[in-house]
Each structure stands twice: as structure tokens, then as C-alpha cells.
Amino acid sequence: METNIAGMNGNGMILTNRLSHRSDYLRTLKAAQDGEIVKIRHGVYARPQILFNTMIDVETIVPNGIVCLYSAWYYYQLSSAIPPSICVAIDSKRKIVLTNNVDITLYYWKKENLEFGITNDKISGYNVLITDIERSVCDAIKYRNKIGIEVCAEIVKNYLRRKDRNISRLMGYAKKLRVAKTLTTYLEIAL
């Protein structure tokens, strides 16, 4: 039986720093002990059902985290591979401890790589920061040896089929990520 828990937002998340009364905080801890809610990280709790959605409130769990790689490729329909978890990029100097209750994989990127090719989209009702489509393609090129050449080729091929592609933006991002030469090779083969 679910009880009404103070401080629960419309997304089924509780941030203890937004609770106004000590009794609300104690009720939150009791609900966590009883299994009504689960601890995501320090000060953030959620109803277990929301963790089964295709997207969760990434901004609450990992503030300023950017959905990337497998999750972005899947979102933009560049890859048919279902992401094993929600991929979130953060600054390489930042430390976040997540519990096992949430299926997020953190990727630590250099600060300068978090400053371009990012957009804010509404996914499954949540506002999330996500790499834009061209940046996502460049990330596939950058990590081609880790994800596999076949996956990388599928992403590039699917991107080139899109009518909304922007090759000049793609090349600009490729230069920033130092993969322009490799991208050019892929484009020559595909075109």
C-alpha cells in the first residue's frame, strides 16, 4: 500500500533538501526502509516504478549530467542497440556516487567536451540535457574502438539517411573532438 509522501514531485522523486519539516524527512526515511521508495543517491529518493521508464529524471539524479552515447544513439534512432543503462556524461573532475537502484552509467569527459553539441529535450516527460544528433555521431566515431566498428558504421549510415542532417555542424564537432580525418573516411565510404 502506497502512502502519500510529503515532498514527492510529479515525477515520483523526493529531494530531502526541499522538505520543510523534520517529520517529512523521517517519513521519507521510513518509506525507504519499508521499500515504498528507493534511495537513488544522498538526498534523492524515488518510487521504484519510475526506474522502469525508458527515461528517468536525470537532472535530479545527476545535476547537469548529459545523456550521451548509447542512450543518445537510441533516442535519435541511429542505432538499434538498446542501451544497457542510461549513459550520462559529467565533468571528469566531478564525483557522484550512485546506488545500485538506478541504472545509470557515468562517463567522465573533459570540461571542454561538455561545452558544445548539447541540447535540452523533453524525453518521457522529463527535461534532459542530451548530446545533439551531430555530436552523437562524432562520439560514435571517437569511441569506435570501444563500441565496435559495425555499431559505428550503422550510426553514420543512419545519420546520413536523415533529411535533417547538418554535415557542416558534424564536421565542426569532429574537428573539436579530433576525429575529422576518420569521419571524412566514413563519409567517403558511405557517400
Q: What is the pLDDT of residues 14-65, one digit of tens each?
A: 888 888 888 888 888 888 777 677 777 778 787 755 544 556 678 888 889 9
Distance from C-alpha of 45 to C-alpha of 32, rounded to nearest angstrom:
8
Identify the bridge partners of residue 119 per DSSP, sorted by sequence position.
Answer: 130
Read off the pLDDT band of 7 (50, 70, 90). Answer: low
Cβ burial, residue 49 (10 Å; 0-12/13-18/19+): exposed
Question: CA–CA separation, 50 vs 63, rounded Å?
Answer: 18
How do residues 72-97 score in pLDDT, each as one tens digit?
998 888 987 778 888 999 999 998 88
Q: Which three cell numbers stand for residue 170?
A: 558534424
* pLDDT value of residue 6: 63
Q: Structure pTM?
A: 0.72
Name residue 29's amino acid. L
Q: What would the pLDDT profile of 125-152 be if each residue is shown by its tens digit?
A: 778 899 999 999 999 999 999 999 999 9
